[in-house]
A and B are shown apart, each in its own frame.
Chain A
């Protein structure tokens, strides 16, 4: 008696499968970066360009407060500077979110409100955060005002546009369904309008946070005497590249951690009704590339104008 063993094609070539998988590529990426880093280090032969170890040691000393540098004040270490920046970011972020949501809702619901604000939103969107930072630094000096206002102005157009698009894309057929069944208006608002706005609102939150954070650092470089941005500038002035890179890495690590630990979890809870994606696909929603909700804000003028002619659905 003979036994025929058949093998499914997918289980063959296991090694090739592992090598070709997106997960392997992700794991491989940092090693490639470090390799390129060393290559540059040995090629350019610079006295100020650090090795990865030097940066890691620097960061460790900053974290453990053993570097010996205190900039003359007890709040001037890593934690103090981080706290100042986070406080500024938080205040600016929530103001941008609050005001932007109100304006976005009004623009989505009313064509005349939309016409009134449209050009202004575009103008604010077109202005680089750097210009806000310089201008506000000149106007307000080295206090909290310039960084906070930069966060607000950098983030608010994204909130406005996303919320407005959310209102315009509310599902008319679901409102009609609710009306046919004579569902009361407050129940329609809670169960149809608000959930349909959620993906847009989440995109707004991620954008306002990501863009606001970048704006904040620029504002602190040019218009502040403390904070993470100022610290990066401090190490730049001191010609210590390890300080610049180290603090940039702190900045990136914090941003990624907030993205993964807070925003992704909030989104998972809010969108648990969506069909599940694979883990690798989910991981694509990285900091800066805010496509995780499936809605990208329209950044180009043409795209914005194309949606202006569409009437609101409410």
Chain B
């Protein structure tokens, strides 16, 4: 079972007058097979948090600890844009992040390509795929290293509504099958309510303001009354915290 522990995490950019606080003394703990959404207005440090957790950025102070059962794998990361190597085929993009290129590894990559319905596209270049397909490859890449923890930074925000919706469902199904711990950054409250067990609400200045549980059964349909009510409650919470206007 994976565990993510964040203690007194602080992050600043710039010095003097240009100083910007991205995260302010954040404490949180996420454990086990949960889907946790991180929501908040632009500039609340959501992406910075993921970047620190994944090692792209270093914190100004504080500690983060990630414990995984699969100690060989780094946490997987699905980015806002797919971030594929345009000069490598789809299969080579998956192999690029693997520790080896053995037959077993290739079979594993193929399995995850099939899971995102791109089993026959392994030898295509990313430029030959649509935006939705590219993002699918990005998802398969993150799953293919079989991590216990997955980070996702607004992975559907670049896609059209219909593609985003079907990908959201596929992703959720993969999460249920593979029982991973997911940290999912989004600015879309509806998306957060549809997907998550738990929603962490961040405010401008990088403060963790609230920690909400959404106890509704999956799969959730945004048109269901319970889901709509939950969404309304979260939005009301946003208003209380004065986050909507910002």
A-side residues, CB < 8 A to B, are 173-174, 176-183, 187, 191-192, 195, 198, 273-275
Closest chain B CB from A221 CB (angstroms): 42
Chain B residues with Cβ below 8 Å from A198 are: 87
Complex: how many Å from CA A174 to CA B128?
19
- Partner of B97 from A173, A181, A195 at Cβ < 8 Å: A181
Say whether chain B's binding surface is mostly helix, strand, loop, or mixed: loop
Q: A180-B55, A273-B89, A273-B125 are in contact. List 9 more A-B contacts (CB 8 A).
A: A173-B79, A180-B74, A180-B77, A181-B77, A182-B74, A183-B96, A191-B85, A191-B88, A195-B85
Complex: how many Å from CA A176 to CA B54?
10
Contact A174 B85 (CB under 8 A): yes
Contact B85 A182 (CB under 8 A): no
Report the nearest B residue to A270, measured CB to CB.
Answer: B87
Report the nearest A residue to B76, measured CB to CB.
Answer: A181
Contact with A along B88-105 (1 / 0, CB 8 A): 110000001100000000
Contact B74 A181 (CB under 8 A): yes
Residue B56 CB within 8 A of the other chain: yes
Chain A residues with Cβ below 8 Å from B55 are: 179-180, 182
Say whether chain A's binding surface is mostly helix, strand, loop, or mixed: helix
Report the nearest A residue to B81, measured CB to CB.
Answer: A173
Closest chain B CB from A303 CB (angstroms): 25
Which one of A177, A179, A183, A192 has the greatest number of beta carbons of chain B within 10 Å? Answer: A177
Complex: how many Å from CA A181 to CA B81?
16
- Partner of B56 from A180, A187, A191 at Cβ < 8 Å: A180
Closest chain B CB from A171 CB (angstroms): 9
B-side residues, CB < 8 A to A, are 51, 54-56, 74, 76-77, 79, 81, 83, 85-89, 96-97, 125, 127-128, 141, 145, 151
Chain B residues with Cβ below 8 Å from A182 are: 55, 74
Give the number of residue pairs across the A-B interface with Cβ within 8 Å. Answer: 52
- Partner of B83 from A177, A187, A273, A274 at Cβ < 8 Å: A177
Report the nearest B residue to A198, measured CB to CB.
Answer: B87
Complex: how many Å from CA A181 to CA B51?
12
Chain B residues with Cβ below 8 Å from A192 are: 85
Closest chain B CB from A183 CB (angstroms): 6
Contact B81 A273 (CB under 8 A): no
Closest chain A CB from B105 CB (angstroms): 14
Report the nearest A residue to B88, measured CB to CB.
Answer: A191
Contact A176 B56 (CB under 8 A): yes
Chain A residues with Cβ below 8 Å from B141 are: 181
15 contacts between A and B (CB under 8 A): A177-B77, A177-B79, A178-B97, A179-B55, A180-B74, A181-B74, A182-B74, A183-B96, A187-B96, A191-B85, A191-B96, A195-B85, A273-B88, A273-B125, A275-B127
**Closest 5 interchain pairs by CB?**
A181-B97, A182-B74, A177-B83, A180-B54, A180-B77
A181-B145, A273-B127, A275-B127 known; A173 and B96 CB under 8 Å? no
Chain A residues with Cβ below 8 Å from B74 are: 180-182
Contact A273 B56 (CB under 8 A): no
Chain B residues with Cβ below 8 Å from A273 are: 86-89, 125, 127
A180-B55, A180-B74 known; A173 and B83 CB under 8 Å? yes
Closest chain A CB from B182 CB (angstroms): 15
Complex: how many Å from CA A179 to CA B77?
10
Report the nearest A residue to B54, measured CB to CB.
Answer: A180
Chain B residues with Cβ below 8 Å from A176 are: 51, 56, 83
Closest chain A CB from B132 CB (angstroms): 17
- Partner of B87 from A179, A183, A195 at Cβ < 8 Å: A195
Chain A residues with Cβ below 8 Å from B89 are: 273
Which one of A181, A192, A275 has the greatest number of beta carbons of chain B within 10 Å? Answer: A181
Report the nearest A residue to B80, measured CB to CB.
Answer: A173
Complex: how many Å from CA A174 to CA B56?
11
Chain A residues with Cβ below 8 Å from B83 are: 173-174, 176-177
Chain B residues with Cβ below 8 Å from A187 are: 96
Closest chain B CB from A196 CB (angstroms): 8
